[in-house]
Structure 1
Amino acid sequence: MPSQPTDWPDLVAHYNRINLYGQANGMELTVPAPGQAEYRMRIQEAHLSSPGTAHGGVLAGLMDAVLGAAALTQAFTAGDLVSTVEFKINYLRPVHLGDELRAVAQVQHAGKSIVVVSGTIYRQADPADTRPLAVAQGMGTFNRYPATKRQL
Structure 2
Amino acid sequence: MKDFRDLLIKVYSETNQFGRLLGTELTKFEEDGIEYKLVISKDHLATPTTAHGGVIAAYMDGIMGVAALHRSSADGNLVSTVEFKINYILPVRKGDVLIGKGTIISKGKRIIIAQGEIFNQESGELVAMGTGTFNAYPHQKSGMTSLDFDFI
Fold match by TM threshold 0.5 = yes
CA contact (8 A) 1:99 1:123 kept: yes
Take 1:99 and 1:65, find their aligned partners in 2: how far apart are those partners? 18
CA contact (8 A) 1:35 1:72 kept: no
Take 2:117 and 2:18, find their aligned partners in 1: how far apart are those partners? 20
- The aligned counterpart of 1:133 is 125
Question: Pairwise mapping of residues 1-150 of structure 1 onto structure 2 (< 5 A)?
Answer: 6=3, 10-34=7-31, 36-126=33-123, 132-150=124-142
1:67 deviation in Å? 0.3
Q: Secondary structure at the match of 2:67?
A: helix
Q: Secondary structure at the match of 1:64?
A: helix
- The aligned counterpart of 2:149 is none
- Percent of residue pairs bearing the same amino acid type: 42
1:56 deviation in Å? 0.4
TM-score, length-scaled by structure 1: 0.86
Give the total of aligned pairs: 143
In the superposition, relative to structure 1, how do residues 124 and 150 fare at CA in structure 2: closer, same or farther (>3 Å)? closer
- The structure whose residues are more often strand, as a share, is 1
Unaligned segments of structure 1, at least 5 residues: 127-131
CA contact (8 A) 1:26 1:42 kept: yes
1:81 deviation in Å? 1.0
The residue type equivalent to 1:29 in the other structure is L
Q: Moved runs in structure 1, 4+ residues, more than 6 A?
A: none
TM-score, length-scaled by structure 2: 0.86
The alignment yields a C-alpha RMSD, in angstroms, of: 1.9
Take 1:150 and 1:42, find their aligned partners in 2: how far apart are those partners? 29
1:15 deviation in Å? 2.1
Unaligned segments of structure 2, at least 5 residues: 145-152
